[in-house]
């Protein structure tokens, strides 16, 4: 063991960091980003918002990001599906990853546990590890769905301090029924976090946990601008919860954690929400096209409420991943036997993906 390894926290020794491959490939459909670049008119609005901040960069930003939180609350209220929210109900940070980390810092930590249901978002166990929170994986049904009965059973068995639910789930893509969130909330004494990073891509009628917030003080809904707002590079995530819970997060946030530039850029993008929704609708269309096309090839594909799909029925998923990469299309091997995850792209990218799948499946013995 090296001297540095020796000094490292015991629970981090020998571990690997998060590492989705970042390869320079013509068609990148592996990290569930929004395939569309920021449109010129939106870029102009964002640039104007950033421009107004530049001369004031000698000062620290608004520590509490009140203007941004007000805009986020208005966006969530406008979107519907939940109660009218104000800035007090909303918190923002550098990506929903930082939001989740702050929740673990405040409500998890040494000697405490978070309950998750894998396969799900791979960062959840890593964020737990980084904050010295125990991660308990209660698993899922064999088709990766989650039932209220299983969630309640797992909570009773493990008595966690936090429960992480993901809707739509990554990597399966399917939204949870409200009954699952309700069962979790009723069974646990802890904080229930519903990670809704992909909520804007849901099919009509899919539930959002925003509708359950009223009267549930321990319920948290996390969202991000990385996907629907095509803003992954800007790093803006947020949550909606009871104002008392939001206030507790101030105890663990770094002072001035969200730069003035980030706050301004996010407000610019939020002002263009209806314009960006047009691209979300296009991506939903391409997602449904992938589902239909792969099902027509006889491959099982889970229903998707996200901007990606999980395809199964592959005898050797790693070989299919490689063969598709050889055709210039990068998708994601999430380590599930016989399955691969594909992010919906632009129409041209999706055509390239489906063509690549066609040739690869033809080569199949
Ligand atoms: N939650 C889920 C389920 C995700 O898939 C992702 C990103 N892949 C995130 C949270 C984090 O997103 P960000 O930090 O960019 O907001």
pLDDT confidence of residue 239: 98
* Ligand 1 centre distance from Cα of residue 1 (Å): 34
Report residue 146's pLDDT band, with 50, 70 and 90 as the boundaries: very high
* Ligand 1 centre distance from Cα of residue 290 (Å): 22
User: CATH number, domain at 142?
Assistant: 3.40.640.10
- What residues contact 323, with CB distance under 8 A and at least 6 apart? 356, 360, 363
User: CATH number, domain at 311?
Assistant: 3.90.1150.10
* Ligand 1 centre distance from Cα of residue 59 (Å): 30
Judge if the beta carbon of residue 170 lies within 6 A of ligand 1.
yes
Residue that finishes a domain, picked among 272, 303, 327: 272
In a shared domain, residues 218 and 320: no
pLDDT cut 90: percent of the chain above it: 90
In a shared domain, residues 215 and 309: no
Residue that finishes a domain, picked among 224, 257, 272: 272
In a shared domain, residues 70 and 132: yes
Judge if the beta carbon of residue 96 lies within 6 A of ligand 1.
yes
Judge if the beta carbon of residue 34 lies within 6 A of ligand 1.
no
- CA nearest to 188, candidates 292, 240, 118, 116: 116
Residue that finishes a domain, picked among 253, 272, 291: 272
In a shared domain, residues 21 and 56: no
Which atom, in ligand 1's list, is nearest to the CA of 31? 8
Total number of domains constituting the chain = 2
In a shared domain, residues 132 and 108: yes
Which atom, in ligand 1's list, is nearest to the CA of 100? 10
Report residue 16's pLDDT band, with 50, 70 and 90 as the boundaries: confident
pLDDT confidence of residue 364: 58
Question: What is the spatial distance between Cα 187 and Cα 205, in angstroms, rounded to a whole number?
Answer: 26
Does this complex have an ipTM over 0.95? yes
In a shared domain, residues 20 and 154: no
Average the pLDDT over 186-207 and give the result.
96
Average the pLDDT over 80-85 and give the result.
82
Average the pLDDT over 46-66 and give the result.
98
Average the pLDDT over 285-308 and give the result.
96
In a shared domain, residues 125 and 183: yes
In a shared domain, residues 298 and 190: no
* Ligand 1, atom 1: closest residue by C-alpha: 197
In a shared domain, residues 89 and 10: no
Global pTM reads: 0.96
Asked whether residue 270 carries a pLDDT value surpassing 50, the answer given is yes
Q: What is the dihedral of CA 323, 352, 280, 312, to 10 degrees?
A: -40
Average the pLDDT over 324-343 and give the result.
95
Which atom, in ligand 1's list, is nearest to the CA of 237? 16
Judge if the beta carbon of residue 195 lies within 6 A of ligand 1.
yes
Domain span at 184: 40-272
In a shared domain, residues 255 and 297: no
- CA nearest to 227, candidates 293, 291, 287: 287
Average the pLDDT over 223-251 and give the result.
98
Q: Identify which of 122, 195, 200, 224 to mutate to test ligand 1's pocket (most ligand atoms within 8 A of the CB).
A: 224
In a shared domain, residues 57 and 86: yes
* Ligand 1 centre distance from Cα of residue 124 (Å): 10
pLDDT confidence of residue 365: 40
* Ligand 1, atom 2: closest residue by C-alpha: 197
Asked whether residue 114 carries a pLDDT value surpassing 80, the answer given is yes
Q: Is 182 exposed, middle or buried (0-12, 13-18, 19+ CB in 10 A)?
A: middle
* Ligand 1 centre distance from Cα of residue 238 (Å): 11
In a shared domain, residues 225 and 176: yes
Judge if the beta carbon of residue 317 lies within 6 A of ligand 1.
no
Asked whether residue 187 carries a pLDDT value surpassing 60, the answer given is yes
Q: Lowest-pLDDT range, 77-81, 86-90, 249-253, 311-315? A: 77-81
* Ligand 1 centre distance from Cα of residue 200 (Å): 13
CB atoms within 10 A of CB 131: 21
């Amino acid at each position: 063991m090296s001297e540095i390894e020796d000094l490292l926290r015991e629970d981090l020794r020998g571990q690997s960091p998060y590492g989705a491959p970042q390869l320079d490939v013509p068609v990148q459909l592996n990290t569930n980003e929004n395939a569309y670049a920021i449109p010129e008119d939106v870029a102009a609005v964002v640039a104007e918002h950033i421009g107004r901040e530049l001369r004031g960069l000698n000062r620290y930003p608004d520590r509490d990001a009140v203007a941004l939180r007000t805009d986020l609350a208005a966006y969530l209220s406008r979107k519907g599906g939940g109660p009218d929210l104000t800035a007090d109900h909303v918190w923002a940070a550098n990506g929903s990853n930082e939001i989740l980390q702050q929740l673990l810092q405040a409500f998890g930590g040494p000697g405490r546990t978070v309950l998750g249901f894998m396969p799900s978002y791979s960062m959840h166990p890593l964020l737990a590890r980084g904050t010295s929170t125990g991660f308990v994986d209660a698993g899922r049904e064999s088709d990766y769905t989650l039932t209220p009965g299983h969630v309640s059973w797992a909570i009773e068995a493990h008595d966690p301090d936090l429960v992480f639910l993901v809707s739509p789930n990554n990597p399966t893509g399917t939204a949870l029924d409200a009954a699952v969130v309700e069962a979790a909330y009723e069974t646990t004494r802890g904080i229930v976090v519903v990670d809704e990073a992909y909520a804007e891509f849901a099919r009509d009628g899919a539930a959002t946990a925003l509708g359950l917030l009223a009267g549930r003080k321990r319920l948290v809904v996390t969202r991000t601008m990385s996907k629907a707002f095509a803003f992954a590079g800007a790093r803006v995530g947020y949550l909606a919860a009871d104002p008392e819970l939001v206030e507790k997060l101030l105890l663990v946030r770094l002072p001035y954690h969200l730069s003035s530039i980030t706050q301004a850029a996010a407000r610019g993008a939020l002002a263009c929400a209806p314009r960006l929704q047009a691209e979300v609708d296009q991506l939903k269309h391409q997602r449904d096209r992938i589902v239909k096309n792969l099902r027509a090839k006889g491959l099982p594909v889970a229903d998707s409420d996200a901007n990606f799909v999980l395809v199964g029925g592959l005898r050797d998923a790693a070989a299919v991943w490689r063969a598709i990469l050889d055709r210039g299309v990068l998708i994601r091997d999430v380590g599930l036997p016989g399955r691969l995850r594909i992010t919906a792209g632009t129409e041209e990218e999706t055509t390239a993906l489906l063509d690549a799948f066609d040739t690869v499946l033809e080569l199949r013995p």
